Amino acid sequence: MAYTELEARELVAEAGRKLLEKGLVARTWGNISARVSDTHFIITPSGMAYDTMKPQQLVLVDGRDGSWEGDRKPSSEKGIHADAYRLRPEVSFVIHTHQDMASVLGVAGMDLVTSHPLLGGRVPCAAYGLPSTDQLRQAVAREMEDWPRSPAILLRHHGAVCLGQSMDHAFAVAEALEEVCGKKVQKTLPIPDLPLYVPDFGESVRQGVLFYLTIGEKTQVYPVAEPSSLPPAAALHAAIYWGTSAQAVVHQRGRDTVAMSVSGKPLRPMLDDQAQIAGANLLCVSPSPQQVLRGLRGRNAVLLREAGALCTGNCLEDARAAAHLLEKGCTASRFAGAVSRSRPLGRGDALLQRTLYVTQYAKRKG
């Protein structure tokens, strides 16, 4: 089945909003497409937020050679979508997500064997390749060919690709995959060794020479001043605004982030998006203004010993997204440790992705 171009545009735009509502993507991460013929498909542009995306802003791509029409650049993973339509004639809708539990399970590099009726018995895991590369595209295509009954592919250290005969079918596959992966991950994770008390350092937004710090239900205004003149929690936020270009700060106190902060060791990323958004490796420091600034040099997050992490961004939404990705990344690290089958991303790969995100993708998103 193929959609008309108008139908495809409307459905892909609708799917972007639906992915956000269901928590299967955050911000602009992932991509969506719909078949319009044997050779062409509509796909999301690179770096465009799903909540504001309009049907007319989507891109028509020729799957035979990757060419496209219009001024906007299509998703850099358009090749994976082209292969899905070429190899699976029954597929009319493709969703690539960085959904949490599928991403976590994928770090082990193992296929998922399942009895869920929507998942075809086995969900293969494609070998790792850097995002947007031929290596990744070829790895995914191999799994599509080898497992023709599977409507989903795990991407090691990255996320998942879900295939459907319609938009609703692709969504049902993505949700079923997340449910099954979540059960397996939670069954595998060890009980964390958590401190009895984790302080709440709140979240804040900078406005000029002031910042608004919210802890619990209370918001207070502080000057961006020398941290030594402020209460402890405010001093941490003030130091970040004093010494970096951040416009928002969020304290991440999720279970797995706190568990990883207990060790006091640096955290190397298990997932591509963690390397891109948070940093190629994260330090774990004492919660003092000087140490936090040291830990944030070249990064958007820093672990606080036995207290979670502070995450920064150009706006509160960015900082919250970084905090979400860090919690997912910490879950992935704990899962990898439990199954002993995966290593962090290579240092060179992680640094390259961080550099490309900061210098290219983040600016395009903005």
pLDDT in tens, 107-126: 999 999 999 999 999 999 99
358 lies in the same domain as 305 = yes
**pLDDT value, residue 244:** 95
179 lies in the same domain as 208 = no
207 lies in the same domain as 326 = yes
139 lies in the same domain as 213 = no
Tell me if 346 is assigned to some domain.
Answer: yes
Tell me if 193 is assigned to some domain.
Answer: no
Q: Which of 147, 162, 188 is the last residue of a domain?
A: 188
152 lies in the same domain as 18 = yes
79 lies in the same domain as 224 = no
In this prediction, residue 24 has a pLDDT band, given cuts at 50, 70 and 90, of confident
Tell me if 77 is assigned to some domain.
Answer: yes
181 lies in the same domain as 275 = no
Structural domain boundaries enclosing 42: 5-188
Q: Which of 188, 215, 247 is the last residue of a domain?
A: 188
Indicate the number of domains in the chain: 2
Tell me if 241 is assigned to some domain.
Answer: yes
62 lies in the same domain as 173 = yes
Tell me if 92 is assigned to some domain.
Answer: yes
71 lies in the same domain as 148 = yes
Tell me if 194 is assigned to some domain.
Answer: no
**Count of C-beta atoms within a 10 Å radius of residue 58:** 28
CATH of residue 49: 3.40.225.10
Q: Quick one: what percent of the chain has pLDDT higher than 70?
A: 98
283 lies in the same domain as 183 = no
Q: Decide if pLDDT at 192 tops 60.
A: yes
| Location of structure tokens 């070998």 | 127
231 lies in the same domain as 180 = no
Q: Which DSSP category does 255 fall into?
A: H
3-state secondary structure the chain: CCCCHHHHHHHHHHHHHHHHHCCCCCCCCCEEEEECCCCEEEECECCCCCCCCCHHHCEEEECCCCCEECCCCECCCHHHHHHHHHHCCCCCEEEEECCHHHHHHHCCCCCEECCCCCCCCEECEECCCCCCCHHHHHHHHHHHHHCCCCCEEEECCCEEEEEECCHHHHHHHHHHHHHHHHHHHHHHCCCCCCCCCCCCCCEEEEECCEEEEEECCEEEEEECCCHHHCCHHHHHHHHHHHHCCCCEEEEECCHHHHHHHHCCCCECCCCHHHHHHCCCCECEECCCHHHHHHHCCCCCEEEECCCCEEEEECCHHHHHHHHHHHHHHHHHHHHHHHHCCCCCCCHHHHHHHHHHHHHHHHHHHC
Tell me if 16 is assigned to some domain.
Answer: yes
pLDDT in tens, 203-255: 999 999 999 999 999 999 999 987 777 999 999 999 999 999 999 999 999 99
User: In a 3-state reduction of DSSP, which class is residue 67?
Assistant: coil
Q: Decide if pLDDT at 363 tops 80.
A: no
User: What whole-number distance in Å separates Cα of residue 269 and Cα of residue 260?
Assistant: 12
Q: Decide if pLDDT at 326 tops 80.
A: yes
In this prediction, residue 361 has a pLDDT band, given cuts at 50, 70 and 90, of low
In this prediction, residue 27 has a pLDDT band, given cuts at 50, 70 and 90, of low
18 lies in the same domain as 55 = yes
User: What whole-number distance in Å separates Cα of residue 45 and Cα of residue 25?
Assistant: 15
User: What whole-number distance in Å separates Cα of residue 2 and Cα of residue 63?
Assistant: 14
Q: Which of 188, 217, 246 is the last residue of a domain?
A: 188
pLDDT in tens, 151-175: 999 999 999 999 999 999 999 999 9
Tell me if 196 is assigned to some domain.
Answer: no
Instruction: Report the chain's mean pLDDT, rounded to a whole number.
Output: 94
Q: Decide if pLDDT at 365 tops 70.
A: no
Q: Which residue intervals of 131-222 are DSSP H helices?
A: 134-146, 167-188
User: What whole-number distance in Å separates Cα of residue 317 and Cα of residue 26?
Assistant: 10
32: tokens are: 């969506």
| Strand pairing report for 40-43 and 31-35 | antiparallel
